Amino acid sequence: MSWNATYALLIAFSTLVTYFSGILIYKAPTAKGKRLVVALSFITNLSILFFYKYFNFFSKTIEDSFAIIGLNIDAPILDLLLPVGISFYTFQALSYTMDVYRGEIKPERHIGIYALFVSYFPQLVAGPIERSKHLLPQLRNFSQLKYENLRSGMLLILWGFFKKMVIADRIAILVNTVYDDPGKYTGIETSAAVLLFSFQIFCDFSAYTDIARGVARLMGIDLMKNFDSPYFSKNITEFWRRWHISLSTWFRDYLYIPLGGSRKGKNRTYWNLFFVFLVSGLWHGASMNFVIWGAMHGLIIVLEKLYYKRTSWFFSIKRDASFSVKLFRGLFTFTLVTFLWIFFRADTFSDSLIVIKNLFDWDMTRVFNGELYNLGLTSGQLYLSIFFIGIMLLVEYYNSFVTNPIVLLLKQHIVFRWSVYIIIILTILIFGAYGGEQQQFIYFQF
């Protein structure tokens, strides 16, 4: 509201619409009446989201489509700013409407508690997208201040700051340099930017989630886990079970299953999967790049489903698979995900094509002449960033295949624990990136 008071009315309006929708759904005497209220709630909320986030995109798309057939029209373009967190709180509020409609929860009568659910500040602007049956009961049952919550919450916050300030914001300098002028760089520079963006976006987004979960835990609130070591996935299907879990499960529960899921034959299942990822791409942003990014992920997942039995050694996740097979599938999946991030990061579709073209334009003389160190990071800063990425991957590996590192750390002797705390704090203070535009979290723009 301090940024733009008008936009505060949007979240208030969305809150009131879904609050009264829940009550009306519960009181409606017929199934038809319940469906009508659900439809009105979805149409109202999605119309607001469409107007602010997608109106200009579709308007420009229509104008370009007519230009292809020789008709020139001036489609209206509105001067609008995207309200902070609108994609997240809209989906969170709509999930409540559906949960009441399905009978999974009873409507929340206390308007203050429901408003707190929609606008709970730690996860308001970038998730995780919470479910009403998980968060609402916690807001109703006041939790006393507990030392265990304070300790584990502060550790999550500390780890989030490490990933954000020490890794993500530092390598963002190099990534932004290349992507701001992609035609200027080839070979080693472009490859480094593409590879490092994979780590930047993971560390940036998962850092926000860790900080949000940590802040909530200080107050005795448990927010859902949003990441589960996604870069150790063996295929794209598994990647989406581990990446942005709150969004992928939202689409599964509130779009994929209502469309029929896998209950209406293979062809319908494939279409449902592809459509969900197409919408997921559009959710991320009003740009053809995001549509292509989502469509490519959807297409790959359909291919994985289609050829699963024929090439199960490659696509399946078998516990008895050899280490070499697991390693190959993991590296292949990471490479594929990294390549597709190009469409996510590039400013325009034409920039994406330039990056892809330059990715394979190698001049070996540029590999050893120090060009890589003219992208905003000195050689020492770059090698230090790689070292910290290695530390982060080690922790993620341990989390994925051994045990939760925080739980393990809290079992250690107090001297060892506090040594780790102090080392992390000093690392953030000494090696953290301060100042500049890279401080903003990437997912704030969605």
Name residue, tokens 């590999």.
Answer: 367
Percentages (nearest 5) of helix, strand, coil residues in the chain: 75, 0, 25
Q: Which one-letter DSSP state was computed for residue 365?
A: H
Residue 320 CA to residue 318 CA, distance in Å, equals: 5
* Catalytic site includes residue 413: no
Helices marked H in 86-230 — which ranges? 86-101, 111-118, 132-140, 147-161, 169-180, 187-218
Residue 270 CA to residue 397 CA, distance in Å, equals: 32
Q: Both tokens of residue 178? A: 């290349």
Name residue, tokens 């102090």.
Answer: 422
Cα angle value 192/193/198 (rounded, 5°): 100
Q: Both tokens of residue 278? A: 């197409």
Q: Which one-letter DSSP state was computed for residue 83?
A: P
Q: Which one-letter DSSP state was computed for residue 319?
A: T
Contact (CB, 8 A) for 168 and 209: no
Name residue, tokens 């490859």.
Answer: 191
Select which of 134, 244, 284, 297 is catalytic.
284
Residue 438 CA to residue 432 CA, distance in Å, equals: 12
- What is the set of active-site residues? 284
